[in-house]
Amino acid sequence: MDRKGKLAVAMAIMVLIGWQMWYPAQMEKARRAQEQLAASTSENPLAVVSSASPAATPKSASEAPPNSVAPSTPNPVPIPEAKVEPKRVETLRGVEAEWQFTSLGGGVERVTLLNHQSEGAAVVMNQFGGIPIGALTEVLENPVLDSYATEVVGEGKTVVFRRTDARQLEVEKRFTLKASMAGSAALPAPFELDFEVRFANRSGSPLTVPNYAVRLGSSAALHGKDLPIYTGVNRFLAGSAKFTDINWFSGGGFLGFGKKERPVYSETGSISWAGVTNQYYATIVTPKEGALPEVVARRFEIRAEDWAAAGRSASSTGPVFAIDAGVKLSSETLAPGQEVVRRFTVFSGPREYRILSAIGGEQEQMLDFGMFSIVSRILLSSMNGLKGLLGSY
């Protein structure tokens, strides 16, 4: 190796030795700096981690350092929480029934029959399920219950609900204690309400009113041992009454095999009236003009704690089911400023032949007398006459 080669090797060795002495010292210095920075960061979470890392985003504008530059990715704009109106409850009281209304859904939350008792307490209609009678929902299951502004008018005999949605579709509902039976001012209507719903287009363009389901509320057995075949949905279709009990939702099958749950019952046609019922009481909604295109229903299980809280006797046959139903409205498109009104009668009370017959619309057909209908009706009228005369059956 010549002189130049030896000199190059010597210089390389010196550089290598110098690097080995300098590099560990720099690493130690960096480590100490990181420890100090970590300690200061734990005391001040808004401190900058390092000059090479992006700046920490301030929690608010008041915490941002002066002359700071906004990060390249904008922070999401906070969405204001929707204003939820507190639930408001109003009550209309008649001779036979007390109607409790709720602003959540804009309808009848429950009906207490003042002169009817079961297991030592007044009979309560629509006690389970949580869907008001007269509520408007687009789906039967998991419905959205809108909040309505509430007002009592008409000398305390009418409850009015109002709301306007984001599309500027105004909905107004009126529930009024009914003074007399249909067609007779002499017959009182202790278990009835007049129900009116008005849709108005307050926007500048056409709006479509959805085919809302007008909810009928729910019905459940009065006692834990009542047969489920008496709880279900009634409707008057094509000149005759039809009834579907809650066992339908368990599905078909043969000898218990091949059953498949049916979540929703639906029937289309010209529906004159529809109702939910148990063995002794019913809630019926009847349109005053024309008929309705569809009835829908579902079965739901009543929680054991809710059943017990209502003072009901325990069931020895397993869970207790209830029925929940609605009648569909026809969809309609409204021009700007146009309104449409739908009118109904709501009955919630005992399934007594004389009462249902006086209401009209052949609602007494809810009582299925079977193949001996004529004989059964004569016997029933005779028994009711004796009760009226003697005070007892």
- Residue (of 80, 133, 75) closest to 275 by Cα position: 133
What's the whole-number mean pLDDT along residues 96-115? 97
Which 8-state DSSP code applies to residue 147? B
Query: What's residue 68's pLDDT?
Result: 38
Whether 261 contacts 250, CB under 8 Å: yes
- Residue (of 172, 192, 166) closest to 180 by Cα position: 192
Residue 264 has pLDDT above 50, yes or no: yes
DSSP string, 21-36: HHHHHHHHHHHHHHHH
Token pair belonging to 83: 């204003």
Token pair belonging to 96: 């036979």
Whether 207 contacts 99, CB under 8 Å: no
Least confident of 112-116, 257-261, 338-342: 257-261
What's the whole-number mean pLDDT along residues 122-129? 95
Residue 98 has pLDDT above 90, yes or no: yes
- Give residue 11's identity as a one-letter amino acid code: M
Residue 390 has pLDDT above 70, yes or no: yes
Band (pLDDT 50/70/90 cuts) for residue 313 is confident
Whether 140 contacts 298, CB under 8 Å: yes
Residue 29 has pLDDT above 70, yes or no: no
**Alpha carbon distances (Å) from 242 to 123, 239, 276, 351:** 25, 10, 12, 15
Beta partners for residue 168, in sequence order: none
pTM above 0.85, yes or no: no
- Residue (of 201, 199, 165, 197) closest to 335 by Cα position: 201
CA 88, 124, 118 angle in degrees (round to 5)?
155
- Give residue 377's identity as a one-letter amino acid code: R
Query: What's residue 315's pLDDT?
Result: 72
Q: C-alpha dihedral over 225, 228, 233, 235, to 10 degrees?
A: -100
- Residue (of 154, 167, 227) closest to 200 by Cα position: 167
